[in-house]
């Protein structure tokens, strides 16, 4: 399978996977469109040009679960409808998906892997880029009043990067062996196993042993969180880091579950179930030598020992 990683191509069979993209949520819409939309379409065009004797290579686009925008509840592995509540980043990812699905009507084998949030390697703990949950970790002491706005029953959908990569490669191997007749969409994320935001904060408080008792969560309506994360920058000037933090709040606390049924059928293995403690250890870089919370209710675990 031919692998496209940030413009670098490596050989491994017959196919293309495009994983390059603009992941700065506060980037100008023009750049988001150029990289995330035109880049995706450019990869599809390369796949068509590589076709020989009617044998078109599989083309896989690494999208994002955040193309869902502000959708709450159960999120199926299906094309998303148009929605006026998407941020510029989300809109670019959604538009790329729509254009690729249209382009696939000519029969080009196409897959869209919606990747969830990523933290460091489950093996080494190292991370390549501090985004997503790391933005909360880096700004923990700067939250106004030490308060983190969350929606009731909100979830944090993150996976260690090596586990996400293993799932993606297993999915591609299956699709390479059995090329799909129709475009395939799969969620490469934590899905129903994603821990709640409350569990994450409880694990953080337990591991920190009072060193970082913040933040405290405060319940807010979903619509208020969605609107503020997408529109506050229109009312006053924010730096890039602050804009990313605002957008990131919806990814750290919305109440929704991304379906993984198609992913499970493709990889034929037990899907990863990241714990709140694992995510805290990787994203907040709490030393692994600290005591582990007891099994069971993660909210009660902070009282252990």
On average, the pLDDT of the chain sits at: 83
Question: For residues 294 and 276, what is the distance between their CA atoms, to the nearest angstrom?
Answer: 12
Q: What would the mean pLDDT of 150-170 be, rounded to a whole number? A: 92
Task: State the fold for domain 2-303.
Answer: Rossmann fold (3.40.50)
Structure tokens at 41: 């379409």
Number of Cβ within a 10 Å radius of residue 7: 8
Helical axes 197-208 vs 276-283, angle rounded to 10°:
60
Q: What would the mean pLDDT of 237-263 be, rounded to a whole number? A: 87
Number of Cβ within a 10 Å radius of residue 21: 22
Closest to 209 in 3D by CA, of 135, 94, 305, 102? 305
DSSP-assigned letter for residue 175 = H
Delimit the domains of the chain by residue range. Answer: 2-303
**Contacts for 145 with CB less than 8 Å, ≥ 6 apart:** none
Number of helices (H), then strands (E), belonging to the chain: the values are: 10, 12
Highest mean pLDDT among 167-176, 229-238, 245-254: 167-176
150 touches 220 (CB < 8 A): yes
On the question of pLDDT at 121 being above 80, the answer is: yes
Q: What percent of the chain has pLDDT over 70?
A: 86
Choose between 248 and 30: higher pLDDT. 30
Q: What would the mean pLDDT of 268-295 be, rounded to a whole number? A: 75
Choose between 56 and 118: higher pLDDT. 118
Question: For residues 289 and 213, what is the distance between their CA atoms, to the nearest angstrom?
Answer: 19
Compute the residue count for the chain.
305
Question: For residues 55 and 82, what is the distance between their CA atoms, to the nearest angstrom?
Answer: 33
3-class SS of residue 267? helix
Structure tokens at 32: 């988001």
């Amino acid at each position: 399978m031919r692998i496209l990683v940030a413009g670098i191509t490596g050989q491994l069979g017959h196919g293309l996977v495009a994983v390059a993209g603009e992941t700065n949520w506060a980037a100008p819409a023009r750049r988001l469109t150029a990289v995330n939309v035109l880049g995706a379409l450019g990869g599809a065009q390369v796949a068509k040009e590589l076709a020989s004797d009617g044998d078109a290579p599989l083309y896989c686009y690494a999208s994002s679960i955040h193309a869902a925008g502000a959708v709450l509840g159960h999120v199926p592995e299906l094309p998303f409808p148009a929605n006026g509540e998407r941020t510029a980043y989300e809109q670019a990812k959604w538009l790329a998906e729509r254009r690729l699905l249209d382009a696939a009507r000519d029969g080009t084998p196409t897959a869209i892997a919606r990747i969830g949030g990523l933290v460091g390697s489950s093996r080494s703990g190292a991370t390549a880029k501090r985004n997503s949950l790391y933005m909360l970790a880096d700004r923990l002491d700067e939250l106004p009043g030490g308060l983190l706005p969350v929606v009731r029953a909100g979830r944090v959908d993150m996976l260690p990067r090596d586990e996400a990569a293993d799932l993606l490669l297993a999915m591609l191997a299956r699709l390479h062996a059995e090329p799909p007749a129709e475009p395939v969409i799969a969620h490469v994320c934590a899905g129903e196993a994603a821990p709640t935001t409350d569990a994450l904060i409880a694990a953080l408080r337990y591991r920190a042993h009072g060193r970082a008792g913040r933040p405290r969560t405060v319940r807010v309506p979903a619509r208020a969180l969605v609107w503020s994360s997408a529109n506050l920058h229109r009312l006053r000037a924010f730096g890039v880091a602050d804009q990313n933090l605002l957008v990131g709040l919806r990814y750290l606390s919305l109440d929704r579950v991304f379906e993984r049924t198609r992913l499970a059928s493709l990889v034929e293995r037990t899907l990863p179930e990241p714990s709140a403690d694992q995510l805290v250890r990787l994203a907040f870089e709490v030393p692994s030598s600290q005591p582990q919370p007891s099994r069971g209710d993660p909210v009660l675990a902070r009282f252990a020992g």
